[in-house]
Amino acid sequence: MSRNKLSAERLERRHEIVRLYRESHGNRPASSLEMADWAMRTGQWKPKPVDLRKQLAEELSRAMSEEFMTDPRNRRVRAKHVARVSVNGKQQSLWVDMRDKNPAAGKLKIIALQNRRQQVVGDLKQLKTDADSFNEFYNYTNEIPFQLILDFTDDIAEAELAQDAA
């Protein structure tokens, strides 16, 4: 899915809203909806005009990322994939359908799969950093350290077996 990242300024402001909410509520766990309600109620956040074109583009991206099909081996797979590419020196996200047969689409499908793999690698690297930090500094229960196993071979095999059995 093509999720737009917040600008550094907007991200910092959102962090500030979370910090203020937590301070005013005794640092207790809360849902993002509770935080949003509080921020709107207290004037910490005010809505801005909506760019309808961007809103529709985001909704189309979300819909495409959630479109599945059944392949010839009866597997449920994503029908549409997004490839992040440079076109005339500008980064673009181009959507391609797995069923497209032209050579340009074939190249985009490979790029899209490579992009997704890199996202997974980035997520796992951050998960490892988070787990290492938890074990070193924040495991207040004095339990055994959280064991993070990054080899997913058995997990994928089990999931495929469960899918085949279904």
Give the model confidence (pLDDT) of 126-154 as tens digits: 999 999 999 999 998 877 899 999 999 99
**pLDDT confidence of residue 3:** 52
pLDDT value, residue 163: 80
Three-state secondary structure call for residue 80: strand
Q: pLDDT for 77-98, tens place per residue?
A: 999 999 999 999 999 999 999 9
What residues does each domain of the chain span?
1-48, 55-141
CB 93 within 8 A of CB 62: no
Q: Is the pLDDT of residue 4 over 70?
A: no
| pLDDT exceeds cutoff 80 at 1 | no
Q: Is the pLDDT confidence value at 166 over 80?
A: no
Residues 16-69: pLDDT tens digits? 999 999 999 999 999 999 999 999 999 999 988 999 999 999 999 999 999 999
Residue whose C-alpha is closest to residue 127's, from 153, 147, 107: 147
- Give me Rg for the CA atoms of the chain: 21
